[in-house]
Every structure is written in structure tokens, then in C-alpha cells.
């Protein structure tokens, strides 16, 4: 049985190409230890919060939205947003662009391949030497932004509409993120302009994930459990597959809601809020029938900004419980081969 499995560890083979070979088994490098495999039977059907952002502009209803966001951030570090102002066609076009990109022959994609996490654009797969025990299916490219017009020429030239479609989505999601940061700060009782400059000068990394259909989805994950390192992540998924960990440590599948975007709190918000808000631990499962795509737009504060608990949120009853860190510290602490984000938030807890 084992002998039939694909065994090349040294050379690059994208997860997509492994799937194309039509193998009946998942390659052995993706097989997880039993204790960390997904177990659908254990996933409860918890209802996840959905926030209607259009209500923010009704003066009498605004406080209701702020309260909903506060509860979601405290309890789970996650919410979905609808009526967020990004047109459905812009979201669909962005997904279409990455479907087209990942469908290109491997040789074309390899031109963008790099194992340098500081490279502005990089294509790679789940072979991760720094976290050898983490096995998952993932192809990705990363875009460092700011401003978008300065880096769009680095993006894939194929498919030909890629830059235009992704540029529109990246710009729209960047603006949405700024609005959401203001609302999240307001929900903490802070001035929404707190950190305005750091947010303006912040970074945006867009990770495009492609999870090929997997013949044995129960043995593996598309992405292992992790929290995102930044402030907010805005995620668009083509079909279900994202699971988040709720406050009882149960995995909850995030449903697909047309037009909705998923908002995940990252470690910077957990640290800044001195633990009042939690970054959400999440993972991606794979499915036997369908390739899945997601676009994660990971936002963080200015590279050099040391982020510690906000002074307003620290007092005798609530002493600072996190160390200061900057996105730069994070980037330079990880090995070049590490994939961003695969750390759990307790790395920043003091003591």
C-alpha cells in the first residue's frame, strides 16, 4: 500500500500536479498523524456571526453593529460581513483570475517560484522544510503591497486579465480593511483614529491558495491550524473548507454565503487589545470532488511599528499580558523557508 504512494520529497512537485496524476492515494508527505487529522463527525453546527455593514450608516442602528462586532471579536475572533461595498463581480473576477493562474502549466508558474519570504511575489507549494511535520496541500503566491500601483507590474502577466482583476479586488479589500479597523477599535472603546498612520503605512500580503481535490481528505489538511500574524485578514473562498476553532475548542465549518467576506482577527489585534479580543485559530480542509480556491488578504500595521497592548486597555486589574512585537520582528524571526503565519498567538504572551 505504502509503496504505491508518491515518494519524491526532494524535487518540487506542486500539489496540483500530484493531483493531476490521478493517484488514488494522497501522497505520503501530506498524511497527518491520527490526532490532528480532520474529523467531520466532531464539527458542530454553530451559527457564526454575520454583520451587515450597511447598518453602520444608520445613526440609530450603528451601536447595534458595534455591539455585534464586539461580541464576535471577544468570543471567536471571527465574523462574516455582508453589504460591505465590494461588488460581487469584483470578487468573482478575482477568484476567476486565480483559477486561471493555477490552471497554467507548471513551467509558467515556476518562473515566480522563490523560497525567500521577502520576495514581493512568490509561488510555492506545501513542501516546508522549516515545519517538516506540517503536511498540507497548498500552492500560493504572495503580494506585498503599498501602494498597489507600485507592485502590480510584479504580478503574473498570465492570465492576461489577472493584474486588472486582482488590482481592483486588492484595492477594494484594502479600503474595507481600513474601515473595519476603525470599527474594531471603536468596539474596544478606543478612538477609531488610534493607529491611523500605522494602518495607512501598513502592509497587505495577498495569499492565493489552491487546494486540489484530494482522494483521501480524511488523512490530511489543506492548511494546518494557525492564527494569522497581522491585524485583520479578509478572506474570500470559492467553496467551503475553512474551519475555525470556537471558544470550546471545537472546529466549526464556515458556510459559503454568496457575497460575504470573512474577517479574521490576527495576533496584532489580540496583543493590542491586551487579550480582550482573540485571534482566531483556523485551518483548511480539502475535499475529494472539488478544487478549492481562497484569497486571504492579510493586513498588518507598519513594518517597524512595535505593537504592544494599548495603554488605554492596561491598568492594575488588567496588567499588560503580551510582549511588544513588530511585523518586522516576525518576518526576520522566521526562517526563509517558513511559511508565514503558522504560529499560535501564545508566542507573544509574557512570562
Residues that bind ligand AKG (CB under 6 A): 207, 209, 223, 228, 235, 237, 241-242, 282, 284, 294, 296, 341
The strand ranges marked E within 83-186 are 123-124, 140-144
Q: Cα(61)–Cα(84) distance, rounded to whole angstroms?
A: 16
Q: Least distance (Å) from ligand AKG to the CB of residue 186?
A: 26
Task: Output phi, psi for 242, to 5 deg.
Answer: -75, 135
Here the contacts of 97-100 (C-beta below 8 Å, separation 24 or greater) are: 97/159, 97/161, 97/162, 97/165, 97/166, 98/166, 98/208, 98/210, 98/293, 98/295, 99/238, 99/293, 100/158, 100/159, 100/161, 100/162
The residue whose Cβ lies closest to Fe ion is: 228
Q: Least distance (Å) from ligand AKG to the CB of residue 249?
A: 18
Q: Least distance (Å) from ligand AKG to the CB of residue 294?
A: 3
Closest CA to 158 of 240, 221, 97: 97
Closest CA to 214 of 32, 2, 1: 32
Q: Of ligand AKG, Fe ion, none, which one does residue 170 interact with (CB within 5 to 8 Å by kind)?
A: none
Q: Of ligand AKG, Fe ion, none, which one does residue 76 interact with (CB within 5 to 8 Å by kind)?
A: none
Q: Least distance (Å) from ligand AKG to the CB of residue 282?
A: 5
Q: For residues 98 and 310, which CB has a smaller minimum distance to ligand AKG in the complex? A: 98
Q: For residues 156 and 241, which CB has a smaller minimum distance to ligand AKG in the complex? A: 241
Q: Of Fe ion, ligand AKG, none, which one does residue 238 interact with (CB within 5 to 8 Å by kind)?
A: none
Q: For residues 65 and 277, which CB has a smaller minimum distance to Fe ion in the complex? A: 277
Q: Of Fe ion, ligand AKG, none, which one does residue 80 interact with (CB within 5 to 8 Å by kind)?
A: none
Q: For residues 198 and 228, which CB has a smaller minimum distance to Fe ion in the complex? A: 228
CB 50, CB 76: distance < 8 Å: no
Q: Of ligand AKG, Fe ion, none, which one does residue 284 interact with (CB within 5 to 8 Å by kind)?
A: ligand AKG
Q: For residues 211 and 322, which CB has a smaller minimum distance to ligand AKG in the complex? A: 211
Q: Of Fe ion, ligand AKG, none, which one does residue 278 interact with (CB within 5 to 8 Å by kind)?
A: none
Q: Least distance (Å) from ligand AKG to the CB of residue 79?
A: 15
Closest CA to 198 of 292, 294, 320, 306: 306
Q: Which three cell numbers mark 61?
A: 442602528
Q: Least distance (Å) from ligand AKG to the CB of residue 296?
A: 4
* Strand, coil or helix: 95: helix
Q: Which three cell numbers mark 234?
A: 479578509
Contact residues toward Fe ion (CB under 5 A) are 228
Q: For residues 18 and 242, which CB has a smaller minimum distance to ligand AKG in the complex? A: 242
The residue whose Cβ lies closest to ligand AKG is: 294
Q: For residues 237 and 279, which CB has a smaller minimum distance to ligand AKG in the complex? A: 237
Q: Least distance (Å) from ligand AKG to the CB of residue 194?
A: 26
Distances (CA, A) of 217 to 18, 221, 295: 14, 7, 21
Exposure class string for 23-54: b at 16+ Cβ within 10 A, else e: eebbbebbbbeeeeebeeeeeeeeebbebebe
Amino acid at each position: 500500500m505504502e509503496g504505491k504512494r508518491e515518494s519524491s520529497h526532494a524535487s518540487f512537485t506542486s500539489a496540483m500536479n500530484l493531483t493531476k496524476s490521478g493517484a488514488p492515494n494522497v501522497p505520503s508527505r501530506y498524511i497527518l498523524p491520527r490526532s490532528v487529522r480532520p474529523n467531520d463527525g466532531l464539527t458542530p453546527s454553530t451559527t457564526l456571526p454575520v454583520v451587515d455593514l450597511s447598518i453602520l450608516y444608520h445613526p440609530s442602528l450603528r451601536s447595534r453593529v458595534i455591539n455585534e462586532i464586539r461580541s464576535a471579536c471577544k468570543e471567536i475572533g471571527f465574523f462574516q460581513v455582508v453589504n460591505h461595498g465590494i461588488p460581487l463581480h469584483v470578487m468573482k473576477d478575482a477568484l476567476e483570475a486565480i483559477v486561471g493562474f493555477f490552471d497554467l502549466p507548471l513551467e509558467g508558474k515556476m518562473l515566480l517560484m522563490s523560497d525567500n519570504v521577502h520576495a514581493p511575489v512568490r509561488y510555492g507549494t506545501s513542501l516546508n522544510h522549516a515545519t517538516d511535520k506540517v503536511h498540507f496541500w497548498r500552492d500560493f503566491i504572495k503580494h506585498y503591497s503599498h501602494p498597489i500601483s507600485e507592485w502590480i507590474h510584479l504580478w503574473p502577466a498570465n492570465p492576461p486579465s489577472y493584474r486588472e482583476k486582482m488590482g481592483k479586488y486588492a484595492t477594494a479589500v484594502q479600503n474595507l480593511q481600513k474601515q473595519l479597523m476603525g470599527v474594531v477599535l471603536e468596539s474596544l472603546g478606543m478612538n477609531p483614529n488610534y493607529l491611523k498612520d500605522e494602518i495607512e503605512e501598513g502592509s497587505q500580503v495577498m495569499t492565493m491558495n489552491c487546494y486540489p481535490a484530494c482522494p483521501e481528505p480524511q488523512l490530511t489538511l489543506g492548511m494546518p491550524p494557525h492564527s494569522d500574524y497581522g491585524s485583520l485578514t479578509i478572506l474570500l473562498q470559492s467553496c467551503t473548507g475553512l474551519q475555525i476553532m470556537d471558544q470550546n475548542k471545537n472546529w466549526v465549518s464556515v458556510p459559503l454565503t454568496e457575497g460575504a467576506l470573512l474577517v479574521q482577527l490576527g495576533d496584532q489585534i489580540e496583543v493590542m487589545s491586551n487579550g480582550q479580543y482573540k485571534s482566531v485559530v483556523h485551518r483548511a480542509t480539502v475535499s475529494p470532488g472539488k478544487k478549492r480556491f481562497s484569497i486571504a488578504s492579510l493586513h498588518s500595521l507598519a513594518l517597524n511599528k512595535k505593537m504592544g497592548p494599548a495603554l488605554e486597555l492596561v491598568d492594575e486589574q488588567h496588567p499588560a499580558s503580551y510582549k511588544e512585537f513588530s511585523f518586522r520582528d516576525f518576518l526576520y524571526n522566521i526562517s526563509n523557508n517558513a511559511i508565514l503565519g503558522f504560529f499560535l498567538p501564545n508566542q507573544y504572551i509574557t512570562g
